[in-house]
């Protein structure tokens, strides 16, 4: 199936070469789409220069940094418009091992609407994170799963592959979250659309170069988002009861 790996970037010049090389080694026939939000460190130019050597690398440049969700929506629209049947989300900071890419693709090819590389299923782990960040991530995922009733262990995971048909069915272009809450809202949207999700274990490693994009504002956005989604679900249930459905 025609596959595109979508990589949002902002100041990732220190990682982009190794990342693209790793992707190409693991998925020789996949397209790589770098969605760059105006990085001043030359990330876009460096990624574009790799096309001559590695092939099938395209750079989608955006004029400003408007959030992870906006970058992924733009990347997915571009990839699907170019005929992609599978869209892969992947961080640019080398936290996600490209060796896992064939497993992501295989799960979708065998019928999953979404395959998640999960830190929180048996065999999954996080390496080189401080204890407080591990605790925040673990309890955040428990909060998401408990409040929204999602049978997903790692709803905030950023390493995932979607079937393009599932993305169209869940109307991904109207997903509103801009930060890491984008992953939560996408997972929630797919579950409510009746999509099938497979999780398998990965090892997530702290970035090697550059600085983390995680901030208190992004965490707060995700917390509030979950409450909004719960309220929306509650209203939907009440309306269905009133209509007798």
Angle at 108 between CA 229 and CA 119, to 5 degrees: 60
Tokens 């905030």, located at residue: 156
Rounded CA-CA distance 26/161 in Å is 15
Q: Buried b vs exposed e over 195-234: b needs ≥16 C-beta within 10 Å?
A: bebbbbbbbbbebeebeebeeeebeebbeebbeebeeeee
Report the DSSP beta bridge partners of residue 31. Answer: 4
Domain count across the chain: 1
What pLDDT score does 223 carry? 79
What pLDDT score does 129 carry? 87
Q: Which CATH number does the domain housing residue 160 bear? A: 3.90.550.10
Q: Is the pTM of this model over 0.85?
A: yes
Rounded CA-CA distance 88/14 in Å is 22
Q: Which residues contact 181 (CB under 8 A, 6 or more apart)?
A: 69, 218, 221, 222, 225, 226
Q: Largest Cα–Cα distance in the chain?
A: 61
What pLDDT score does 245 carry? 60
What pLDDT score does 211 carry? 54
Range of the domain at 137: 3-243
Residue 84's nearest CA partner among 167, 20, 23, 28 is: 167
What pLDDT score does 228 carry? 84
pLDDT one digit per residue (tens) for the chain, 245 residues: 999 999 999 999 999 999 999 999 999 999 999 999 999 999 999 999 999 999 999 999 998 888 899 999 999 999 999 999 999 999 999 999 999 999 999 999 999 999 999 999 999 999 988 888 888 888 889 988 899 989 899 999 999 999 999 999 999 999 988 877 899 999 999 999 999 999 999 999 986 665 555 545 666 777 788 888 878 777 766 666 676 66
What pLDDT score does 36 carry? 97
C-alpha gyration radius of the chain: 18
Residue 44 carries which DSSP code?
H
């Amino acid at each position: 199936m025609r596959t595109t790996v979508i990589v949002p970037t902002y100041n990732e010049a220190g990682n982009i070469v190794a990342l693209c090389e790793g992707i190409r080694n693991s998925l020789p026939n996949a397209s790589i789409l770098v969605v760059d939000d105006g990085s001043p460190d030359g990330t876009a130019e460096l990624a574009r220069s790799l096309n001559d050597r590695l092939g099938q690398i395209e750079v989608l440049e955006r004029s400003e940094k408007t959030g992870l969700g906006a970058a992924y929506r733009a990347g997915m629209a571009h990839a699907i418009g170019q005929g992609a049947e599978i869209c892969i989300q992947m961080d640019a900071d080398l936290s996600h091992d490209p060796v896992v890419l064939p497993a992501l693709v295989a799960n979708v090819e065998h019928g999953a609407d979404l395959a998640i590389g999960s830190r929180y299923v048996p065999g999954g782990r996080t390496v080189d994170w401080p204890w407080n960040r591990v605790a925040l991530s673990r309890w955040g995922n428990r909060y998401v799963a408990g409040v929204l009733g999602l049978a997903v262990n790692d709803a905030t995971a950023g390493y995932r592959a979607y079937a393009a048909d599932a993305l169209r069915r869940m109307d991904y272009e109207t997903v509103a979250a801009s930060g890491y809450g984008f992953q939560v809202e996408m997972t929630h949207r797919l579950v409510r659309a009746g999509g099938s999700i497979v999780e398998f274990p990965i090892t997530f490693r702290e970035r090697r170069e550059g600085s983390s994009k995680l901030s208190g504002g992004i965490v707060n956005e995700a917390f509030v988002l979950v409450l909004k989604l719960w309220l929306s679900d509650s209203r939907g249930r009440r309306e269905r009861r009133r209509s007798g459905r």
